[in-house]
A and B are shown apart, each in its own frame.
Chain A
Amino acid sequence: MAKPAIELKNITKRFGSKVVANKNVCLSVYKGEILSLLGENGSGKTTLMNIISGIYYPDEGKIFIDGEEVVIRSPKDAFKYKIGMIHQHFKLIDVFSAAQNIVLGLKEEERFDIKTVTAKVKQISEQYGFDIDPNKKIYEMSVSEKQTVEIIKVLYRGADILILDEPTAVLTPQETQKLFAILRRMKEAGKAIIIITHKLHEVLSLSDKVAVLRKGEYIGTVVTAETNEAQLTEMMVGKKISLNINRSLPKDPVDRLAVKNLCCVNAEGVKVLDDISFSARSGEILGIAGIAGSGQRELLEAIAGLQPVQSGDIIYNNPKTGSQDELRGKTPIQIRELGVRLSFVPEDRLGMGLVGNMDIIDNMMLRSYRKGKTMFLERKKPKDLAERIINDLEVVTPSAQTPVRKLSGGNVQKVLVGREIAASPTVLMAAYPVRGLDINSSYAIYNLLNQQKENGVAVIFVGEDLDVLIELCDRILVISSGKVSGIVDGRKADKGEIGLMMTKAGGGSKNEN
């Protein structure tokens, strides 16, 4: 039997001493075969691909190309072994033409002869059925065209092993079908293809084999023809783990925030929120589950007034006046004054909401500086607030005058959430508040959210970890590609069921296979 085009044996990669991004991963792909690499966010898929393409170097394990052990230390080495990576974020120069991008960095004849390049690009295009104008500038291209340029780029370099990092995330269904047709043609031409994805139906329709990663661990490889969605989901999300998070029964919940048929379009004209409807009730934690980038961020920002809404309504039932207020069209400040608070913890934690170089007091003032009566800053109240947060939430800091960036991640997040809670909100939106936290800090945050819930606040919690969502939330709203897949009861929810809803194509109806 032929040797695999590429084989990984026991690859392990750690970041720092704590984070294990990949653990004992084994993979093999033969020529003329498509392997899907399946896993949730943060399961280590991209890290693994970066190891193959030379961006990271593994701590342990071996890589074989055509049966020979190789060492890949840089992207250059990866080129040498004919490995081509198509990144999720395109690596293209906007002001260059397609042809210029394709030959970038190649060591060929010094004089840049556009005609030969164009001819070779045309030849590759015809062979695999691409439709591209080599002289078109990248900034004039659609997302799908840019992806085509990326694929031609690696083929032009003679790649035999292609890695595609979530190639369909940015494509329309029609474009996806076109891409799959091309991938199948490349497979027939004897290329080995690895495609990273978390869309189950794509895995089943395209690939020959599926390798599954979960939280950095290698779960196993199955042959696509012998598996089904249920089995793959179980491999992906795993068995339920008990966390023992306290959860009280909601006390007389009333609808606080009603979102009706909400649609949003991003700057590229792609629909990021499609007909979202749900309500958040007082005294309840509503969880939002979904693959990263399914529209969670846009949804919260739309409610907070930071994201333009295309159509739909956001109705706020004001407990003070009893009136129903339309939030759409209000400024973020007006919305905040109504008691709708957003604490968003982005991937880099400090990116939104706190200023790293300012101390805790000054960060408190970011929310309250308008309250002063004179043109001078009033530091007394923010200082009291900062000290109260430090005491109540047990923030570990030398003083309230310490710049926020010097605090550890958990303490930064406590400050962020604490500040929003301090304004006694009626709706509290917390996105990824436990991102990157250790267990104790996470529980401190869960307790904070639970306290708010008991005070009658409508809490919206966007989380990554399904186990947490299931144990903390009263109801869980599952979204997939900007659509609502369904709302489940947190007390009865099944992890596999939510997993399936998250990965379902296009969201929407529940009966889709």
Chain B
Amino acid sequence: MINTIFAFINAAIIQSIPLLFGATGEIITEKSGNLNLGIPGIMYVGGISGIIGGYLYENSTEHPVAALCIIIPLLSSLIGSMLLALIYSFLTVTLRVNQNVTGLALTTFGIGIGNFFGGSLLSFFGQTGSISLIETGKCFKASLPFADKLGIFGKTFLSFGFLAYLAIIIAIGTSYFLNNTRTGLNLRAVGENPSTADAAGINVTKYKYLSTLIGGAIAGLGGLYFVMDYTGGAWTNNGFGDRGWLAIAIVIFAIWRPTTAIFSSFLFGGLYILCIYIPGLSSSAKELINMLPYVVTILVLVVISMRKKRENQPPESLGLSYFREER
């Protein structure tokens, strides 16, 4: 029993990492007033770009170097997700296209890219089978060397690859950045009231672009974690599932606070796999339990709109394009 609980906690943490990356990325993006619903797509692209980078490197050499096994997929993942975020920024900030439409289109597009390359990458190189990057996966999965020696504690809490720790560091860093730096203050001002920010001499366009790009890159790492660490370098079409949407739900659940997002991700990650750990569930009961994260999100939305505390509301200009007032 106790072992099951620890196994569940461990699994919940593993599940929470991609969600946390996605949520932190989306928080940074939304703080600039950009509601990027393309995050699920960006996370797919972050994953497949890492796979492509890793595959090209593993195929090019007999003896892959561990450092390059990490750096190359990492860089290609960042580039892939930032490209998609760049499309989003260009459309919504420069061309002022509706943010929801753009985001939804990007999600469909991103999932499509992921499945296309995931399904056909091998055939481009005349190979068959499915993608499996064993060496790269091993590097990403490498945990702290002393984790094994700490018994069940080490197994439960320390058995993750470096990306898991990075997720938490990024979330905490983002929180500090938003609350304690001038750039963070300016960014929040852009999301709250861009015309005020503009009048204060803040470059609204630059802030919106950068936060969307950086937010996209962070979210993409969630996809990379999933394909490299969680599945150990293998790609399955649609394997990432609806985790991207869950990440967006976490942003609301955590009321736009990255540190709260850490615990929310853990909670949602747990709920996501809860049905596997409750024995003897019927398939319909499983589906009901899988609904829990979304039900909880709806409840949170109801509660925060009822309490009307201004600090807990979404950035005021979220989802709106900014026009500088002109006659």
* Residue ranges of A at the interface with B (Cβ–Cβ < 8 Å): 15, 75-76, 79, 87, 91-96, 100, 103-112, 137, 139
Contacts and interface: CB of A to CB of B under 8 A. Distances in A.
B316 A110 contact: no
A93 B196 contact: yes
12 contacts: A75-B199, A91-B195, A93-B196, A94-B193, A104-B200, A105-B197, A105-B201, A108-B182, A111-B180, A111-B182, A112-B181, A112-B184
Contacts of B184: 112
Given A105-B201, A111-B181, A95 B192 contact: yes
A501 B310 CA distance: 42
B200 A105 contact: yes
B327 interface: yes
Contacts of B189: 93, 96, 104-105
Given A75-B199, A91-B199, A93-B189, A103 B310 contact: no
A103 B201 CA distance: 11
A93 B313 CA distance: 13
The SS class assigned to the B binding surface is helix
Interface in B269-327: 310-311, 313, 316, 327
Contacts of A15: 327
B108 interface: no
Given A91-B200, A93-B193, A110 B181 contact: yes
A93 B192 contact: yes
B182 A106 contact: yes
Interface string B186-217: 10110011011111111000000000000000
Nearest to A78: B201
Contacts of A91: 193, 195-196, 199-200
Nearest to A47: B327
B237 interface: no
Contacts, number: 66
Contact of B316 (A75, A79, A94, A112): A94
A96 B310 CA distance: 10
A353 B16 CA distance: 51
B59 interface: no
Contacts of A107: 182
B185 interface: yes
A112 B186 CA distance: 11
A224 to B, nearest CB: 31
B188 to A, nearest CB: 8
B201 A79 contact: yes
B192 to A, nearest CB: 5
B183 interface: yes
A409 B196 CA distance: 31
B325 to A, nearest CB: 8
Contact of B186 (A76, A104, A111, A137): A104
Contacts of A108: 182
B192 A137 contact: no
A103 B182 contact: yes
A105 B202 contact: yes
B180 A95 contact: no
B183 A110 contact: yes
Contacts of B202: 104-105
Q: Which 3 A-B pairs have the closest CB atoms?
A: A105-B200, A91-B196, A105-B201
Nearest to A56: B327
B186 A105 contact: yes
Contacts of A94: 192-193, 310, 316
Nearest to B313: A95
A95 B182 contact: no
B180 A137 contact: no
A107 B186 CA distance: 10
A54 to B, nearest CB: 10
Contacts of A95: 192, 310-311, 313, 316
Contact of A92 (B182, B196, B201, B310): B196
Given A105-B200, A105-B201, A107-B182, 18 more contacts: A79-B201, A91-B193, A91-B200, A92-B193, A92-B196, A95-B311, A95-B316, A96-B188, A96-B192, A103-B185, A104-B186, A104-B197, A104-B200, A109-B182, A111-B181, A112-B180, A112-B185, A139-B310
A100 B189 CA distance: 10
A91 B186 CA distance: 14
A170 to B, nearest CB: 17
A112 B199 CA distance: 20
A94 B309 CA distance: 12
Given A93-B196, A104-B202, A112 B310 contact: no
B45 to A, nearest CB: 32
Contacts of B327: 15
A91 B195 CA distance: 8
A52 B182 CA distance: 27
Contacts of A111: 180-182
Contacts of B186: 104-105
Contacts of A103: 182, 185
B124 to A, nearest CB: 46
Nearest to A74: B201
A233 B192 CA distance: 42
Max chain A CB contacts within 10 Å: which of B180, B182, B184, B188? B182
Given A93-B196, A95-B311, A137-B310, A100 B201 contact: no
Nearest to B179: A112
Contacts of A87: 199
Contacts of B197: 93, 104-105
A76 B201 CA distance: 6
Contacts of A109: 182
Nearest to A90: B196
A380 B237 CA distance: 56
A94 B185 CA distance: 13
A110 B176 CA distance: 12
Nearest to A94: B310
Contacts of B201: 75-76, 79, 105
Contacts of A112: 180-182, 184-185
Contacts of A105: 186, 189, 197, 200-202
A92 B199 CA distance: 10
A17 to B, nearest CB: 14
Contacts of B185: 96, 100, 103-104, 112
Contacts of B195: 91
A112 B183 CA distance: 9
Nearest to A106: B182
Interface string B13-36: 000000000000000000000000
B12 to A, nearest CB: 33
A92 B310 CA distance: 14
